[in-house]
Amino acid sequence: MEFPEGFRFGVSMSGFQFEMGCGGEVDPHSDWWIWARDPLNAGLGLVSGDLPEDGPGYWCLFERDHDLVEDMGLDAVRLGIEWSRIFPRPTYGARAYVEEDEEGVKAVEVDERCLEELDGLANEQAVERYREILSDLKSRGIHVTLCLNHFTLPLWIHDPARARDSLLGEGPRGWLDRRTVVEFAKYAAYVAYRLGDLVDSWATLNEPRAVAYEGYLRPRSGFPPGIFSFRAYSEALRNLVEAHARAYDALKAWSPEEISVGVIYDVYVVEPLSEGDEEASEGAWHFFNWWFLDAIARGELALEYSREAAEEPLSRRDLGGRIDWIGVNYYSRLVVERSEPWLEEMDLLGWRIVRGYGFECEPRSRSLAGFPTSDSGWEAYPEGLRKALKEVYERYRVPLVVSENGVADAEDRLRPDFIVEHLVQLWRALVEDRVDVEGYYHWSLVDNYEWHRGFEMKYGLYAVDRETKERMPRESARLYSRIASERAIPESRQP
């Protein structure tokens, strides 16, 4: 099982989860910085009590981690940068031309004057450090994908505790505020202007649907702002669609040369519990995957979660055709069964998630299907990766990458087989199904700060001593290095 010439093997990282941990480089200007230390969250057990400033320290130790990447024979890295580091203060005063109507923000045009104004507001030290990081990767021949937003927002864009405590009546409210779309487009233009010469491909957003879903439909998930409101979920997700489209335009306009722009999406493979649940499964596929991706690929914006609305969506030419590639984040699956719709007349919501499968299992056990589960209680289900890739490619016909795939596994008991079995399924999608997959990025290189779970969940190929910051290879790191170096799955591990 050999991988073709040009196929990339890499790792994925974000900003907030990796950067802090080596002294005075903290970033106290983001919503997650506030959220992780909020007393109410701690009292309710919604956050771990671990703090991001105790993380792996990539901000200072990036050369050490790049050495690991190079030593492993990897040729690609996907990074995230922090909006709140670049702009710790508001950028409302930097003037851009905005076209909007009752449907939404149709255009944001950033000119040189606006970029000069943004330059005066930016944290130059942060910009220069990001240039150092990216330059070091490029000097090693590493393909760089840069993601503009991985969950976190500047505090001047989103104050999650205030939004929660006021039941969303006061802000700033993040993705519920339309002006966030405008500010995100300005941020995208500025980052392309200052960093674009060091980037091989762009990603606008990481898992946008998850941001809205965890924040507004699962109030005990540990994600901000922890309010249950289907209306807020819908508004936030619609603004995220527009934010992607406007950032896509800005990146295309201000990158120094023609460059591909994509989105990183957590594709949920949804399977029916029984034959009678297939319609429910189709509705969940639409809810979790197609609603967002149809909007940015086809310009089709369904106004409700009903089959009628899905068949006759609002046509938005300013949204469609704004996707050059899709990053597929895949960890496990969902299994659903029929139920009454959550909301009246929304028949695509007639399903419920079944516990004991996919993301809904007990940690370090077996799913009801007999598959092993991770430290986080997620079922190892490699077959789902092939299905995710095939379904997304057949629907949109743009290149794909597996932008995240990994497992919480402190003892490294599952990870070696997990990597091999998922790469086997990727190979089958690539070779047998002829899906255009350009690379595989493991999550992640080193153990990191896993949001509300803190440092409990270990996803790294390398363990990290939190005191000394020493990186210690797990057996899975050696295996992944061999696969990447040989560009093939070892015969002894092939099915």
Active-site annotation, residues: 207, 404
DSSP secondary structure letters along 409-459: -TT-SSHHHHHHHHHHHHHHHHHTS---EEEEEES-SB----GGGTTSS--
Residue 66: name the closest of 79, 85, 53 by CA. Answer: 79
**Residue that the structure tokens 């864009």 belong to:** 157
Q: Are 458 and 472 in contact (CB under 8 A)?
A: no
Residue 337's beta-bridge partner residues?
A: 352
User: Do the Cβ atoms of 38 and 3 come closer than 8 Å?
Assistant: no
Q: Residue 109 belongs to what H/E stretch? A: strand 104-109
Tokens of 359: 């993301």
Beta bridge partners of 315: 300
Per-position DSSP letters for 323-365, written without gaps between them: -SEEEEE-S-EEEEEE---SSTT-GGG-EEEPTTSTTSS-TTS
Sign of CA dihedral 149, 154, 159, 163: negative
Closest CA to 74 of 462, 450, 428: 462
Q: What CA–CA distance (Å, rounded) separates 29 from 155? A: 5
Query: Phi and psi of 148, rounded to 5°?
Result: -75, -30
| Integer Cα distance of 258 and 363 in angstroms | 45
Strand, coil or helix: 263: strand
* Those residues with Cβ within 8 angstroms of residue 422's Cβ, 6 or more apart along the chain or in another chain: 330, 382, 385, 402, 405
Q: Quick one: tokens of 411? A: 């003892």
* Sign for the pseudo-dihedral over CA of 101, 106, 111, 116: positive
CA dist 335 and 360 (Å) reads: 9
Q: How far is CA 59 from CA 15, 50, 85, 87, 160, in A?
A: 9, 19, 11, 17, 25
Which run of H or E residues covers position 401? strand 400-404
Would you call 136 exposed, middle or buried from its count of C-beta atoms within 10 A (0-12, 13-18, 19+)? middle
d(Cα 201, Cα 252) in Å, to the nearest integer?
11
